Amino acid sequence: MDLDFILAKGPIFLAAAQLTVTVAFFGILLSAVVGLLCAVVKFYRWPVAHRLVSAYIELARNTPLMVQLFFLYFGLPRLGFIWEGQTCAILGLTFLGGGYMAEAFRGGLSAVGKDQVEAGLSIGLNRFQLLRYVIVPQALAVSLPAISATTIFLMKETSVFSIVALPDLMYVAKDLLKEGHSSETNTLLVASYLAVILPISLIFAWLERRLRFAGFGS
Amino acid sequence: MLSGQVVLKIKDLVKNYDQRAVLKGLTLTVSQGEVLVVIGPSGCGKSTLLRCLNGLEPVNGGQIIFEGQYLTDPQTNWSRIRQRVGMVFQNYELFPHLTALENILLGPIKVQNKSREEALAKAEYWLNRVDLWDRRHSFPRQLSGGQKQRVAIVRALAMDPEIMLFDEVTASLDPEMVREVLDVITNLAQEGLTMLIVTHEMAFARAVADRIIFLDDGGIVEDSTPDVFFQNPATERARRFLNIFHYDDIHKPNGSLNLAKNNL
Ligand SMILES: Nc1ncnc2c1ncn2[C@@H]1O[C@H](COP(=O)(O)OP(=O)(O)OP(=O)(O)O)[C@@H](O)[C@H]1O
Ligand SMILES: [Mg+2]
């Protein structure tokens, strides 16, 4: 193992990790927003929107991220939309993640009983307040394991971004591999992903433990 | 008390579930300060009646007039009405992710836009009255059934309702906890709060009611004072219904019925 090489190339990986984290952060955050909105639409079964949302979820979950990114990056510009690589990556991740997050939230929402809804209505809460103060907090607790799994899945999916020419971890590694030093490069790559993903896993595990102590929802 | 002004008027109320009539033209008037206990066999529509009154069930016919306002009007702003009609459920339905105090403050602060101080003062008053101020920071799962139900009653009272609806609020409780909840309700009755109470606790019904409403087959079969109803019911159906409880009385020497009767 060539330590000098690892030390020399470390900063490149650090920069790449930063990019991966940035894209993942915004992509996953937007996924959660999109997913929650979709799940709520399905929860209330709003007539037309509910079908559109179902179609979107199926599309997002049943096509590979790579295909979605190709469409965004190479397909849409022909129709006049020009995406910068990073925007494209965030949108692609959001499109994919929204579908998975919707399913994650849906499980939690459906676990909130009709009686809880009626109790909330009985003190005069309107629909929005009911969601905000009664339904979503309880649903979150139930959905947390699924949200956590989806988050980590999406973090890993970011490795596909190198195809939209984004210098993320995977892209940098592929670049370096051309120069040899494969074991060092691979070590750096694995270490970088671990460094990014492991803390997130741990945070979720801690959150889940805390909620289990709180002992509601399930 | 009985001559108070009319709070609630129900006229020819009809409620169907999938074509099947559950309430078949029910008429009832409730005056300020009256305590009505609604009893009747399982499935006769007691819960349905209460749920129609705060809009949890849409009605299919007739009128509900609350403080001069037609609740059967499709334009009814239910959020407004529900602030004035308190409801307590059989299974408490406290919000499990909130402490007892947060459960109580949610409505006053978020729905009625009261200041936290004002809401807190009221919550403190009521929690003290039901002996639970010390437990205000407990989550529902940390409370016994009786404690949860007392918190649920306070949650409804914190909105300053003009009428309270109780739907078998002791039915899920262990016998030794029934008493503490019934005491709270009895107390409220003595203060002149208008209430509609559905219960199977006959001794309690007799003690707390101004009027007993005996419901069967979607309509009111008897509407009389507790003394008349329990000693000398007018209909055969009521007599048969009451006999079920005599059996209970004889065969459950330590049951909640006797407990409540002896102490009330
Ligand atoms: N959501 C519903 N859909 C269809 N039928 C219903 C529904 N809710 C109640 N019913 C039926 O309506 C009738 C009246 O029900 P309700 O719950 O009002 O009775 P109840 O008098 O409260 O009985 P219990 O003493 O068992 O609580 C019952 O036959 C019940 O099966
Ligand atoms: Mg009932």
Q: Which residues contact A132 (CB under 8 A, 6 or more apart)?
A: none
Sign of the alpha-carbon torsion through B97, B98, B103, B105 = negative
Question: In the predicted model, is pLDDT for residue A184 greater than 90?
Answer: no
Q: Is residue B264 part of a domain?
A: no
Q: Is residue B18 part of a domain?
A: yes
Tell me whether A111 touches chain B (CB under 8 Å).
Answer: no
Residue nearest to atom 2 of ligand 1 (CA): B17
Q: Compare all CA atoms of chain A with the CA of B164 and give the residue at the minimum distance.
A: A122
Q: Which residues contact B127 (CB under 8 A, 6 or more apart)?
A: B100, B101, B104, B133, B136, B151, B154
Q: How far apart are the first and last CA of chain A?
A: 49
C-beta pairs of B108-112 under 8 Å, 24+ apart in sequence:
B108/B158, B108/B159, B110/A125, B110/A129, B110/A133, B111/A123, B111/A124, B111/A125, B111/A126, B111/A129, B111/B79, B111/B83, B111/B159, B112/A124, B112/B83, B112/B159
Following CA atoms B58, B60, B63, B64 in sequence, which dihedral angle do they give, to the nearest 10 degrees?
Answer: -20
Count of structural domains, chain B: 1
Give residue B173's pLDDT.
Answer: 92
Question: In the predicted model, is pLDDT for residue B260 greater than 50?
Answer: no
The Cα–Cα gap between B71 and B74 comes to 8
Give residue B263's pLDDT.
Answer: 42
Residue keyed to tokens 């300060």? B33
Instruction: Give the gap in angstroms from C-alpha A122 to the nearest C-alpha of chain B.
Output: 6
- Mean pLDDT computed over B156-173: 96
Separation of A87 CA from ligand 2 center, angstroms?
A: 56
Q: Is residue B129 part of a domain?
A: no
Substitution target from A116, A121, A122, A213 for chain B, most B beta carbons within 10 A = A122
Residue nearest to atom 4 of ligand 1 (CA): B17
Complex confidence, ipTM? 0.88
- Give residue A67's pLDDT band: very low, low, confident or very high (50, 70, 90): confident
Q: Do A129 and B110 touch (CB under 8 A)?
A: yes
Q: Provide the percentage of residues in chain A whose pLDDT is more than 90.
A: 42
Residues in chain B: 264
CB-nearest to B89 from A119, A134, A141 is: A119
* pTM flag (> 0.80): yes
Question: In the predicted model, is pLDDT for residue B262 greater than 60?
Answer: no
In the sheet where B85-88 sits, what is the strand order?
B85-88, B163-167, B194-198, B35-39, B211-216, B219-224
Segment A112-134, tens digit of pLDDT: 989 999 999 999 999 999 999 99
Give residue B235's pLDDT.
Answer: 93
Q: Compare all CA atoms of chain A with the CA of B90 and give the residue at the minimum distance.
A: A115
B25 to A63, A210, B3, B49: CA distances (angstroms): 57, 52, 25, 11
The Cα–Cα gap between B246 and B262 comes to 16
The Cα–Cα gap between A218 and A168 comes to 38
Q: Give the number of other Cβ atoms within 10 Å of residue A164's Cβ.
A: 22
The Cα–Cα gap between B115 and B118 comes to 5
- Residue spans per domain, chain A: 3-212
Question: In the predicted model, is pLDDT for residue B161 greater than 90?
Answer: yes
Smallest CA-to-CA distance from A53 within A67, A28, A69, A35 is with: A35
Mapped onto helix, strand or coil, the DSSP state of residue B166 is strand
Residue nearest to atom 10 of ligand 1 (CA): B17
Question: In the predicted model, is pLDDT for residue B204 greater than 50?
Answer: yes
Are β-strands B163-167 and B194-198 bridged in parallel, bridged antiparallel, or unpaired? parallel
Least confident range from A184-188, B37-41, B54-58: namely: A184-188
Interface of B with A in 104-133 (CB under 8 A): 106-107, 110-112
Q: Check pocket membership of B22 for ligand 1, CB cut-off 6 A.
A: yes
The answer to whether the beta carbons of residues B94 and B152 sit under 8 Å apart is yes
Least confident range from A160-174, B45-59, B150-164: namely: A160-174
Give residue A123's pLDDT.
Answer: 97
Q: Which domain holds residue B179?
A: 6-95+154-245
The Cα–Cα gap between A33 and B16 comes to 40
Question: In the predicted model, is pLDDT for residue B250 greater than 90?
Answer: no
DSSP string, A196-214: HHHHHHHHHHHHHHHHHHH
Question: In the predicted model, is pLDDT for residue B126 greater than 80?
Answer: yes
Q: Do B95 and A129 touch (CB under 8 A)?
A: no
Substitution target from B48, B88, B94, B110 for chain A, most A beta carbons within 10 A = B110
Angle between helix A182-214 and helix A3-44 axes, rounded to 10 deg: 40
The answer to whether the beta carbons of residues A117 and B92 sit under 8 Å apart is no
A107 to A78, A101, A217, B95: CA distances (angstroms): 38, 10, 11, 19
Q: Do B111 and A214 touch (CB under 8 A)?
A: no
Q: Is residue B25 part of a domain?
A: yes
CA B104 to chain centre: 18
In the sheet where B20-31 sits, what is the strand order?
B20-31, B6-17, B61-66, B69-70
Contacts of B82 in chain A (CB under 8 A): 121-124
Query: Topology of A3-212 in CATH?
Result: MetI-like fold (1.10.3720)
Q: Is residue B256 part of a domain?
A: no
Q: Is residue B201 part of a domain?
A: yes
* Residue B225 tokens, joined: 């004072």
Question: In the predicted model, is pLDDT for residue A41 greater than 50?
Answer: yes
- Mean pLDDT computed over B12-18: 95
Q: Is the model more confident about B159 or about A196?
A: B159
* Residue B59 tokens, joined: 């009605």
What CATH number did the domain enclosing B87 receive? Answer: 3.40.50.300
The Cα–Cα gap between B213 and B200 comes to 13
